[in-house]
Amino acid sequence: MYKLLLVDDEPEVTEGLMVEIDWEGCGFTEVRTAGNGKEAMELFEKMEPDVLITDISMPYMNGLELSEWARKTYPITRIVILSGHDEFEYAKQAIHLQVDAYVLKPFSAGQLTETVVDVARRMDEEREQRSNVELLEEHYRTSLPIVREKFLSSLITRKQPYLDIAAKARKYGMQLDGEGYVVSIISVQHSDETTEQNGAKPSVSLASSTDLDLKLFSVSNIASEIWARHELGKVFIHQDQVVLFTVSPHGDQAKMMEDTQTALKEILQSIERFLRFPVMIGVGTFTRELGNLKYAYEAAMVALDYRRILGSNMIICIDDMEKRVQEKLLFDESKERSLISAVKLGTEKELEEVIDGLFDEIARVQASVPDYQHYLLEMVTAIIKLTKVLETDEEDILGGGWGILNQYQKLNSPQETKVWFGEMCAKVRRSIASRRQHTYKQIVEDAISYTKSHFHESELSIAKVCGQLHVSAGYFSGLFKKELKLTFGAYLLQLRMEEAKELLRTTELKAFEIAEKVGFADPNYFSLSFKKYAGVSAKEYRSSPAEKEE
C-alpha cells in the first residue's frame, strides 16, 4: 500500500531491520534502503516514498539535512528520525521540520514496528478521510450555498459559453433555463460612522448599525422571500450588493419587466417599513441569452449611477434613463483569452469548439456589416499579435498583413469566412506545437552538452544547470525525465561512473585522483557510489581481466 525508504550508514542495522520487521504486515509493499543522504536523494526521485526513516548521524549529508530537503521537495512524505543523540538541539530541529516521530537509539525492532504502524495508521486515516464519500458529500452539502453564490457571481463578472453555464447549473441543482433575463441590483447606502443623539448611547437599530454585512443579509432575506413567492429567479450577495436575476419562461419582454418591477416595489416597501435604512435599486436591460448576464449587470450598475441625481429609495430602470442600445457584437477579453488559449495549448477539437462559438455569436446577434467586419478584424488581430509574441513565421502562416486582406476580400459567405479563419488558427497552432517540441529537445540537448563539459566539477547540480539554461528546476526535471527516461541526478551519476570506468581501464591514477576528476569531492563517497553502480569496488574493477579487454 505504502512505500518506505530506510536510510542508515550502518549496513548491519538496515539489514537487521529488513529481516526482523514484517514491513508488508505494517502496510508497506515497497521498502528500500540507502546508506547516506545523497544516495537517499537519488532514490527519492525514483520511488517517491510515503515514509522516510533516517538516522541523523551519517556522512556526506546528515539525517536532518536530508529531512529538510525532503520536507521542501516532497512535502507530503512522512518523516521518522532515528538518533543516538538524546540532545535537545536535535529534537528542536526535528520539531521545526515537523517530523512524525523521533526514535532514540538503542531501540528494538518491536519499538520501530510500533512507530511505523502508527505512522501508517495515521496515513490510512487521512486517506480515508479525504476519500470518504459520505464525508465529502456532507462537506459538499455544507459548502454548496457558497459554491452556488460564487457561480452566480461568475455569471455577472465574465462572459461564459452557454454550455458551460448549463452544465454547472445542473451540477449545482439550479434552474436557470429561460426565454429571457433581467438583472437588478439593490445597493445599500451605508456609513461606517456610528450615529449618536444628544450624547446618548448609539442606537442599536439596524439602520444605525455599522455592520454592512448584517444589512446585506437582512436585505437578501427580504428579497429572497419575495422573489421566491413571485417565482422570478435567483437572489444572492455580490460585492456589497444584493443581485437579483429574473428568469422568464415565456420571453415576453414587457410582461417580464412589469413582473420584475412589481416584485421590486414590494421589496423596496418592505425594506422601508422593516429595516428603515436607505437603498437604491437599479434595473438592467432585457436579454435573451444566459451568457449575456454580464452585460445586463453592467447596465444595472449604470442605472445605479443615477442615484446621484435622483436620490435614494427608488427603482431606476436603465431603459427609462437612456435610449436602449441594441446588443453589440463584442470580441471581449474573455473571447480573446479563450481563442488564444485554444491556439496555444488546446487540442484540434478544442480549437474547433472555440471557433464554432465565435461564429455562432455572429449568427445570433445579426450585427451590421461594419460591426461584423470589426469583430472579425479583432479576431484576426489577436492571432497576428500571438504570432508576433511567440516569434512564429508570420509571413509563412498568415501571408502578411496585405495577404490577409486579399484573402478576406475573396470570401463570399460566413461559412467560407469560418473555414478560412479556422485554417489560419490551425496553422498557427501547428507551428507553435512544432516550435515547442523543438524547444523541449533543445533544452535537453543543451543540458546534456553543458553537463558533459562540467561533470568533473563537484559543485555541479541541477540548480546550476537550470541557472545556465534560464529555466526553473521543476520544469527542467520533468522535461529531462520525459525525454531521457531517467532523472538528471541519475544521468549525471551515470556520466561520472562511465568516465571513472574509462580512467580505471586506461590510466594508473589512484582512486582518489579519479574521484576528483569525475566530480566527487569525497573519495569515500566515490568508492561507495562506484561499488553500487558497477557491482564491484574500483580496485576490483581495475584488476578484472574482462574490464582490461574492453
Same domain, 31 and 56: yes
Three-state secondary structure call for residue 283: strand
**Cα within 13 Å of Cα(317), Cβ side:** 15
Same domain, 517 and 390: no
Domain of residue 422: give its range.
333-436
DSSP letter, residue 273: I
Give the mean pLDDT of 382-392: 79
Same domain, 431 and 514: no
Q: What percent of the chain has pLDDT over 90?
A: 42
pLDDT of residue 422: 93
Q: What is the pLDDT of residues 425-476, one digit of tens each?
A: 998 888 888 888 888 889 999 999 999 999 999 999 888 999 998 888 888 8
Give the mean pLDDT of 177-198: 78
Same domain, 284 and 400: no
Q: Which long-range contacts does 506-513 make (Cβ < 8 Å, 24+ apart)?
A: 511/538, 511/539
Domain-embedded: residue 204: no
Rounded distance, CA 58 to CA 39, Å?
Answer: 11
Q: What percent of the chain has pLDDT over 70?
A: 87
Q: Of the residues 436, 466, 487, which one is the last residue of a structural domain?
A: 436
How many degrees, rounded to 5, is the angle at CA 294 between CA 291 and CA 299?
130
Position 8 pLDDT exceeds 70: yes
Domain-embedded: residue 283: yes
Rounded distance, CA 544 to CA 546, Å?
Answer: 5
Same domain, 380 and 521: no
pTM above 0.75, yes or no: no
Domain-embedded: residue 355: yes
What CATH number is attached to the domain comprising 307? 3.30.70.270
Same domain, 477 and 342: no
Domain-embedded: residue 262: yes
Domain-embedded: residue 205: no
Same domain, 180 and 295: yes
What CATH number is attached to the domain comprising 492? 1.10.10.60
Position 397 pLDDT exceeds 60: no
- Give the Å distances, CA to CA, from 418 to 9, 330, 350, 379, 407: 68, 17, 15, 11, 13
Inter-residue contact 8 to 54 (CB < 8 Å): yes
Domain-embedded: residue 98: yes
Q: Of the residues 436, 467, 490, which one is the last residue of a structural domain?
A: 436
Same domain, 236 and 374: no
Domain-embedded: residue 196: no
Same domain, 98 and 18: yes
Q: What is the pLDDT of residues 318-329, one digit of tens each?
A: 888 875 445 677
β-sheet with 2-7: strand ranges across: 28-34, 2-7, 51-55, 78-83, 101-104
> For residue 51, what is the enclosing H or E element?
strand 51-55
How high is the mean pLDDT of the chain? 85
pLDDT of residue 19: 87
Selected residue with higher pLDDT from 400 and 412: 412
Same domain, 340 and 304: no
- Give the Å distances, CA to CA, from 474 to 68, 303, 321, 462, 488: 18, 50, 56, 10, 12
Domain-embedded: residue 9: yes
pLDDT of residue 189: 81
With the CA atoms of 114, 119, 125 and 126 taken in that order, what torsion angle do they form, in degrees rounded to the nearest 10? 180
Give 544's pLDDT tier (boundaries 50, 70, 90): confident
Give 197's pLDDT tier (boundaries 50, 70, 90): very low
Residues in Cβ contact with 190 at an 8 Å cutoff, skipping those fewer than 6 apart: 212, 215, 277
Give 194's pLDDT tier (boundaries 50, 70, 90): low
Same domain, 106 and 218: no
Inter-residue contact 282 to 304 (CB < 8 Å): yes
> For residue 176, what is the enclosing H or E element?
none
Inter-residue contact 489 to 503 (CB < 8 Å): no
Q: Of the residues 267, 296, 323, which one is the last residue of a structural domain?
A: 323
pLDDT of residue 122: 92
Q: What is the pLDDT of residues 241-259, one digit of tens each?
A: 999 999 999 889 999 999 9
* Number of structural domains in the chain: 4
What CATH number is attached to the domain comprising 33? 3.40.50.2300
Whose CA is closest to 463, among 453, 484, 71, 450?
A: 450
Amino acid residing at 204: V
Inter-residue contact 131 to 137 (CB < 8 Å): no
Ranking 130-134, 219-223, 286-290 by mean pLDDT, the lowest is 130-134
Selected residue with higher pLDDT from 451 and 9: 451
Same domain, 338 and 307: no
